[in-house]
Chain A
Amino acid sequence: MTTPSSLLIRNGRVIDPSQGLDQRADVLLEDGKVAWVAVSSEKRLATDAQVIDAGGFVVCPGFVDLHCHLREPGFEDKETIASGTLAAARGGFTTVCAMPNTNPAVDSAAIVRWVAQKAQVEGYVRVLPIGCVTKGRNGKELTEMGELAEAGVIGFSDDGSPVADVNLMRTALLYSSFTGLPIIQHCEEPSLARGGMMHEGWVASRLGLKGQPSQAEEVMASRDVGLVQLTHGRLHLAHVSTAGTTAIVRWAKGSGLAVTAEVTPHHLALTDEWVLGMQDKNAVYAPLSLMAYDTNAKVNPPLRTARDIEALVAALKDGTLDAIATDHAPHAATDKECTFNEAAFGISGLETAFGLVMRLVHAGQLPLGLVIEKMTAGPAKVLGEKGRGLGSLKAGAMADVAILDPNAEWVVDRKALASKGKNTPLDGVRLKGSVVATVVGGRVAYMARTLKLTPAGRGAR
């Protein structure tokens, strides 16, 4: 929208977990960096500075998403770098890590550079590419990880599929260690999960759908933790969805292994009962409605149970889980307007992430500050060196800011999503908590109509 040399965000409740800050303050952004955060803006402003009055809102570092699918190149009918990063901006994200399961897959330095350049030109937010573990995601031969790292990837993943071969995973963890970057594993033991369309439990059985048991994830998570012991490599577990996996990660961290892990908003807030198309849970064994077999609730790993959610929440609180990441997986209408078996896995999640996680805050299960930490400082820490200056409002950090209204109620309208992927099970659902503005590098990437930019001359001292 505009690129003032400086932008003052006044009067907000500033929450910055990276420096333990939670108080009413002003934030000055200058030349793409955070200049200062101060209780009162007595300092002098540049004459062309602009001001946002964030009174009544929360001001925090822009969200960092460790896991999303931008689909470009190759699947532009599902999403593009432009549409996906606009969705990110609407969701309060200022940095997104893009998974490499595109076509061609991001398995060479040339494609990494192509994605990075395209994002530089068309992206609304920062895009950090992830490279493949294996060439063409074939699960057989390692990619040239050194060159990928040099081209700027922040980690390696065959996400969408696991690295199933145990010996290859051992090699990947060991070889990649010279780059300092993590292997990001999608845990799913193929022989246990084969044909599984949703979580294996009473809902799957009720619907006559083949399930994948929680153990399909847990078996591989524990296997890979074992391989980290063996190799001293770095492992990041994508989209942890079960109680059992949280116990495995807790043990790994307790043993001092370089293991980190993320959880998605949908695994934190939704259960397998959403496949029934029922949003109120008062009649779990009720007759099926016409809304049953909701393909928009088909996601991998599948939505689990209330017991798993309880464990995931506890694991966020005790630090077992480092970050909340969206696993934003946009799909075209035809990928979901079919039978449940035929439908693609995935939820379009960037724009509903904050509102959905706020359900847990409003229910008293998670403090707001912790949610913000897991979407800012937490993921930045997982990124290590690559996360320097992200997820923080310390002086000198990137001028990436999200302005939030934790109490604003809104109804999700899939047709209004900026993402090309309208595949959300939350269509028509009322959420409490919205993003009102997103600033990337000092530049406003998204702003709701309730806010306005004013010149500094009159408003500011």
Chain B
Amino acid sequence: MQGRSKEVESRATPAESITPPTEGSNGASVRKVWQHRHLLDLDTLSMDELELLLKTAETMQGVLQRDVKKVPTLRGRVIITLFYEASTRTRMGFEMAGKLLSADVINITVGSSSVVKGETLLDTILTLQASTADVIVIRHGDSGAPYMAARVLTHTSVVNAGDGAHAHPTQGLLDLFTVQKQLGSLTGRKIVLVGDIAYSRVARSDLWGFTRMGAQVVLCAPPTLLPWDLLNGRTECQGHPFSSVEIEPDLRKAARDADVVMALRLQQERQQAERIPSLREYARYWQVNEEVLSLAKPNALVMHPGPMNEGVEISSSVAHGAQSVVEQQVSNGLAVRMAVLYLLGAPREQ
């Protein structure tokens, strides 16, 4: 293992070359902008920090296009992914991102760990820290679980890979990254989120990210799936972060002149079934299909965080059509997760 990674290192580009080009291209200035030990949600990130992350992701994408995709940046660092919920792309994305940065990555899935013997989340987290993890990537079905982990960990970074209905910050970042790459600036873009918004962690993180970057967000869903309480007070409260967010339950009105139409997964596993009369009626009024897309701007992007229920929230033809960037979202996810691990996991110079 040692010998092999040395070999890779000798062929790879030096670590400095993947530093994003901010303020004179050296690691120290990046550290000045980036002060966070954890990534729990996008609400804590300023516009500058979001831009730094997106620039770093851009650099990582450059690395991914090389012949040898592996760089030694996180050599000697230990990353543990701890997943209490099923996941393909997020868990694999973090594992691959860590490995391409030369970290040692250990994956723990709940079915095969001490959790089945009744170990509490708290004890699991402390055990992982005691075993010298530098970064713990955690997904949990309960909102707030990564906050609890971050509270008790004294020297390990926590990355939230999705907690309950609360947040999914790397999904939010890859959505920002995808739109920015396709359309350039995010400022003033009309982004329409369609579907199960009230109980969606993706929608929450997207809301923080897109609004902070100056985009105009419109939320569209059946009234039972709209986050009325989240937006409560946005008209009365000065400086409410979601003051520019609009609600429009009619998809044909919401989609008009949109730059991006993003369909969200109807989470059948999260007891949303009782909130709509049938999938058939849902698809009739809220499915993103060609008719809906024809109302948007001519080259509007179609997005979906996956996994898709084709024929429910999105039609197959649109999901795989010319305007769809669903696959780019997945590949951008890798660059974004590399950027996150790089900013959190690289050794800190004092």
The residues of A with any CB-CB pair to B shorter than 8 Å are 200-202, 204-211, 284-285, 287-288, 290-293, 334, 337-342
Contact = CB atoms under 8 A, between A and B. Distances in A.
Contacts of A339: 121, 140, 142-145, 148
B166 interface: yes
B98 to A, nearest CB: 24
Given A209-B164, A209-B166, 16 more contacts: A204-B229, A205-B228, A208-B144, A208-B166, A209-B143, A210-B165, A285-B239, A287-B44, A288-B43, A291-B151, A293-B144, A339-B121, A339-B142, A339-B143, A339-B144, A341-B142
29 contacts: A201-B229, A202-B229, A202-B233, A204-B229, A205-B227, A205-B229, A205-B230, A207-B166, A208-B164, A209-B144, A209-B166, A211-B229, A285-B241, A287-B44, A288-B41, A288-B44, A290-B40, A290-B151, A291-B151, A292-B144, A334-B120, A337-B120, A338-B122, A339-B121, A339-B145, A340-B142, A340-B143, A341-B164, A342-B142
A207 B41 CA distance: 11
Nearest to B229: A205
A200 B198 CA distance: 12
A208 B121 CA distance: 19
A316 to B, nearest CB: 27
A202 B232 contact: yes
B167 interface: yes
A273 B241 CA distance: 17
B260 to A, nearest CB: 23
B164 A288 contact: no
B232 to A, nearest CB: 5
Interface in B211-237: 227-230, 232-233, 237
A201 B147 CA distance: 21
B229 A337 contact: no
A341 B143 contact: yes
A337 B147 CA distance: 12
Contacts of B164: 208-209, 341
A337 B125 CA distance: 12
Contact of B120 (A202, A291, A338): A338
B196 to A, nearest CB: 13
B143 A206 contact: no
Contacts of A284: 237
Contacts of A342: 142
B175 interface: no
Given A288-B41, A342-B142, A337 B163 contact: no
A284 B43 CA distance: 13
A321 B176 CA distance: 52
Nearest to A211: B229
Instruction: For the complex of A and B, list the 4 residue pairs with the smallest distance between their C-beta atoms, beginning with the closest.
Output: A208-B166, A293-B144, A208-B165, A339-B142
A333 B288 CA distance: 48
A200 B229 contact: yes
B147 A292 contact: yes
Interface centre among A202, A210, A211 (most CB of B within 10 A): A202
Contacts of A340: 142-144
B337 interface: no
Contacts of B70: none
A338 B141 CA distance: 13
B230 A293 contact: no
A208 B167 contact: yes
B226 to A, nearest CB: 10
Nearest to A333: B122
Interface in B100-144: 120-122, 140, 142-144
B91 interface: no
Interface centre among A209, A211, A290 (most CB of B within 10 A): A290
Nearest to B150: A290
Nearest to B151: A290
Given A208-B143, A293-B144, A337 B122 contact: yes
B240 interface: yes
Nearest to A292: B147
A207 B232 contact: no
B99 interface: no
Contacts of B304: none
Nearest to B241: A285
Interface string B173-215: 0000000000000000000000000110100100000000000
Given A208-B163, A208-B167, A211-B229, A293 B198 contact: no
Interface centre among B43, B120, B204, B229 (most CB of A within 10 A): B229
A230 B237 CA distance: 46
A202 B232 CA distance: 6
B148 A293 contact: yes
Contacts of B40: 288, 290
A207 B143 CA distance: 7
Contacts of B122: 337-338
A341 B166 CA distance: 12
B229 A207 contact: no
Contacts of B166: 207-209
A288 B147 contact: yes
Contact of B198 (A205, A207, A338, A341): A205
